[in-house]
Amino acid sequence: MSGALKLGDKATVSYFQEISFPDSTFDVVVVSEVLEHLTSEVMRQGLCDIRRVLKPNGRMIGTVPSREDPKDQTVICPCCGKRFHRWRHEQSFGAMTMRDLLSKGFEGITVIERTILPWRVLNWKGKLLAAAKWLLWRLGSHGSNENVFFEAAKPGADRNVM
């Protein structure tokens, strides 16, 4: 992954449940489209580990799907009959729930809820529909396929939260 950005050894990838880096290693940790796949316990432990590996005042940035109703994407395994979320999402977030979650250990929190529109890959019809969706979003009408973007900082060396 870091090769695509030509970051070399300046970037690395880790499994969320096994963040085995030394304390205060990173300036920035990116957590994009991950948290919704984790149980509450695994997520809390992982966020503590991210805070641990961030340098003082280091930033965590990321995204999660916004206000997703897990029941809308429930599927049934044809072999065993078990019900589960199509993409194995364990939980859902809104702007307030994300802010509350991050306030337990981070500061300088920014949370923005918005739609992601892939303009470059859309044809004219897709761009027209996306423009209408964007306009409705700007007018306060929220729908599907929105995301919560978040950024939060580890407290500086002189301050300890958690």
Separation CA 152–CA 103 (nearest Å): 9
pLDDT value at residue 68: 74
3-class SS of residue 160: coil
Long-range CB contact pairs, 118-121, < 8 A, 24+:
none
pLDDT value at residue 162: 44
pLDDT value at residue 29: 92
pLDDT value at residue 93: 81
Task: List the domains of the chain with CATH numbers.
Answer: 22-116+145-153 (3.40.50.150)
Q: With 0-12 CB in 10 A as exposed, 13-18 as middle and 19+ as buried, what is 46?
A: buried
> What is the DSSP-derived secondary structure letter of residue 31?
E
Mean pLDDT, each 10-residue run in order, the chain (162 residues) = 58 75 91 82 90 94 80 74 66 87 93 81 87 80 77 76 44
pLDDT value at residue 140: 75
pLDDT value at residue 3: 46
Alpha-carbon 93 to chain mean position: 9
